[in-house]
Amino acid sequence: MSRISDTRIRTREAAAHLVAAGRHPHELTVDLIYAEIRQGSRTTINDELKLWKDEQARNDALAAALPAPVADAMRLLWALAVKHGEQVFAARGEELEHEAADATARAESLAIALTALEAQAQTLRTQLEEREIRLAAAAAELARTQAERAAALQTAQAVATERDAARTEAQQAQQVLQDAHARALEELRTEHAVREAALRAQIDQAASRLESVQKHVMLQTEEARDAQRRAETALTKARQRNEQLVGDAQRLAAEAAEQRRLAERHEKQLASVIDEARELRRERDTLAQQVASLQGQLKELKAHPQPATHGQAKRNPDSRGARSRTKMS
């Protein structure tokens, strides 16, 4: 539940408690309410206290203008409607906060997956650099002697095979990440659609309940008019009561609009999470371009090997065999 809603609810509870303790509604002040609840801004407390005092005044006027059973029934109905509306609003606020937390957790999970992919790409780049060094040594040995050319070619083929395997693994890892991103985005869209449909259903239900309350109030008003039709003063008071109820209905409509604005704010948060996922995907594409660049450099080195002296090849035959064994491993 949001802090503002909690402050408004506790303001009403504190006002009711002070009245039950013996104070009159017109004696209640913002300082008295704040001393009771110890939270919220004084502006919020003042606004809600004015609304509460207006409701108390309307209830007192209704009690004086209508028969006691009718007035009691209307006060009870209004109290039940207000309590139910507060409960629905509080429950929906908690659900939206949980859903936002879940979306944040999913975004963090995607970030962790991207970090793991970056580490894997770094490992692949290191391996490519090592293989480039090995390939350069094999090319030098190929230039020194014709007899060693076959072994150097085999070593180069082994390096190429490992490079192709590494490239295949990187492509598979990128595809897996792309599929995961696509599924996550689809789940977010689906959840967004479900939340929107549920919120619209709640708004429709609230509008239906409001219409039912208005019809019931109008029926009671008509009965009161029939009971006191002979008295012109009572008829005027009944009309004033009807206008007050219409104002209450407009306030309920404003609260429903506030719920719509809250849903729009969470939709914007969801759009921010989707933008973060897109940013992760762009970083992944950048990483793929870097790997492709390294592969191009490796091909360039293979196409233009650097020559070396024949004497160095004869002086270090054991190191050549050791490098060949390392590449084969």
d(CA 29, CA 124): 71
CA distances from 284 to 70, 109, 125, 178, 301 (A): 69, 15, 15, 9, 26
Report the sign of the C-alpha dihedral through residues 54, 60, 62, 68, in that order: positive
Q: C-alpha angle 236/238/240, rounded to 5°?
A: 70
pLDDT of 156-188, one tens digit each?
788 788 888 878 887 888 888 888 888 888 888
Tell me the mean pLDDT in the region 96-117: 82
Which of 44, 65, 86 corresponds to the end of one domain? 65
- This prediction's pTM: 0.27
- 229 & 99 share domain: yes
Which of 27, 43, 65 corresponds to the end of one domain? 65
What confidence score (pLDDT) does residue 217 get? 59
Helix (H, G, I), strand (E, B) or coil at 230: coil
CB 324 within 8 A of CB 151: yes
pLDDT of 38-73, one tens digit each?
988 999 999 999 999 998 888 777 777 767 677 667
DSSP 306: P
Range name among 53-62, 79-88, 182-191, 284-293 with the lowest pLDDT average: 79-88
- 53 & 141 share domain: no
- 109 & 27 share domain: no
Report the sign of the C-alpha dihedral through residues 9, 10, 15, 21, in that order: positive
- Read off the tokens for 161: 């095979």
What confidence score (pLDDT) does residue 315 get? 47
Could you give the percent of the chain with pLDDT greater than 90?
Answer: 10
**Containing structural domain, residue 80:** 68-328
- 183 & 296 share domain: yes
> pLDDT class for 75, splitting at 50, 70, 90?
low
